[in-house]
Amino acid sequence: MNITYEKLMSEHLPYMYDIRFSVKENLPHAHQIQYLQKEQAEQDISQGGGWMCKIDNQYAGYAFGIWVPEPLLGGLFVRPEFTRHGVGSHLLDLVTGWFFSEGAQEVTLTTDPDSLAEKFYKKRGWSATELDEFGQLIFVKKKVSYD
């Protein structure tokens, strides 16, 4: 199995949509539909904090970070058949590393409560804070400082 990662580009949009709609949990909520529109997705991609994962000859997952204006993990999705291969963890590390290298002190994300994603983020050191106005769980990851 050959796993590679590449910077997310607008040309990846069809693969992103395919991956996004392959997942069984964290389906798009009504308030998120606007972010799936091509123009908005291209604007998010242009910020430069996204990556695609390819396994052999198939795109398996993607993640991207956006400044809105605070650092937000805008999405991290892996095709169900490619979970448990380290893809999500590596994509998460790429995005959070990018944010921290750009000066962020913390990154947030939202996900559905009681989902596999909730367990995934907790296992990787993210802290759940509260529910947002849409009932999604807000997570925060702070930059580790060794000063």
CA atoms within 13 A on the CB side of 113: 10
- Residue spans of the domains in the chain: they are 3-105
- Which residues in the chain come in under a pLDDT of 50? none
SS (H, E, C) the chain: CCEEEEECCHHHHHHHHHHHCCCCCCCCCHHHHHHHCHHHHHHHHCCCEEEEEEECCEEEEEEEEEECCCEEEEEEEECHHHCCCCHHHHHHHHHHHHHHHCCCCEEEEEECCCCHHHHHHHHCCCEEEEECCCCCEEEEEECCCCC
CATH of domain 3-105: 3.40.630.30
Q: Phi-psi bin for 138: left (phi > 0), alpha (psi -120 to 50), beta?
A: beta
What is the predicted pLDDT for the residue at 33? 56
The predicted pLDDT at position 39 comes to: 82
Strands of the sheet with 106-111, listed across from one edge = 3-7, 49-55, 58-67, 71-78, 106-111, 137-142, 127-131
Pairing of strands 58-67, 3-7: unpaired
Residue pair 81/119 in contact (Cβ under 8 Å)? The answer is: no
User: What pLDDT score does 16 carry?
Assistant: 94
Query: How many residues are given for the chain?
Result: 147
pLDDT score recorded for residue 25: 78
